[in-house]
């Protein structure tokens, strides 16, 4: 399977989307609408918005297991995580597991407030929006809520499984 690196596809798609938004239609269906499979391979149905939104539900269910390795399994091996409650960029499986070892101590439960789904091609989607996390302090039992902006970039793997290749989450600015 001839697959372009996810980050390159995402960068190309974002650039193409910006060009289209500016009203320049010369880009055509090239970067953002191209199917990354060869013509001789079996075509599959495009992913739906509901399926993309379900990927968050799968991630949120993994959080509820309390197992950081189960959460990390939802990320590609070369994924980048810019987490909500850490200043450290996580760029490998060990770093992602480390983040979730600490984050899961607060028993997070996520709820989406707003979602915007962009299907870039049959293998790449972006889900962006706002979510809230209900947290329970593992020391005091005190409950709190953190509202954050998020972006998940997913890539469909050769086995058909969708994995997170880029995840950014940041607390909402004080207003």
User: Domain-by-domain residue ranges, the chain?
Assistant: 45-171
pLDDT at 67: 98
pLDDT at 95: 97
DSSP state, residue 129: E
pLDDT at 7: 55
The residues pairing with 167 across neighbouring beta strands, listed in sequence order, are 81, 152
**Residue 15 belongs to what H/E stretch?**
helix 6-21
HSE, CB side, 13 Å, CA atoms: give it for residue 30: 11
Domain 45-171 has CATH 3.40.50.2300: no
CA distances to 18, 34, 81, 107 from 142, rounded to whole Å, are: 44, 49, 27, 11
Q: How would you write the pLDDT of the chain (175 residues) with one tens digit per residue?
A: 445 555 555 544 444 333 333 332 233 333 334 444 444 445 568 899 999 999 999 999 999 999 999 999 999 999 999 999 899 999 999 999 999 999 999 999 999 999 999 999 999 999 999 999 999 998 899 999 999 999 999 999 999 999 999 999 999 987 4
Q: State the pTM of this model.
A: 0.75
């Amino acid at each position: 399977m001839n697959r372009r690196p996810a980050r390159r596809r995402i960068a190309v798609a974002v650039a193409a989307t910006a060009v289209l938004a500016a009203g320049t239609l010369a880009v055509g269906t090239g970067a953002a609408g191209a199917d990354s499979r060869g013509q001789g391979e079996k075509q599959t149905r495009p992913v739906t918005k509901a399926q993309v939104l379900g990927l968050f539900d799968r991630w949120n269910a993994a959080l509820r297991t309390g197992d950081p390795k189960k959460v990390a399994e939802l990320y590609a091996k070369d994924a980048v995580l810019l987490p909500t409650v850490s200043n450290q960029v996580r760029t490998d499986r060990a770093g992602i597991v480390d983040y979730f070892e600490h984050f899961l101590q607060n028993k997070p439960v996520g709820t989406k407030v707003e979602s915007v789904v962009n299907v870039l091609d049959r293998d790449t989607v972006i889900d962006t929006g706002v979510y809230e996390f209900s947290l329970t302090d593992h020391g005091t039992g005190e409950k709190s809520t953190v509202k954050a902006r998020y972006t998940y970039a997913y890539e469909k793997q050769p086995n058909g499984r969708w994995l997170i290749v880029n995840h950014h989450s940041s607390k909402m600015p004080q207003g």
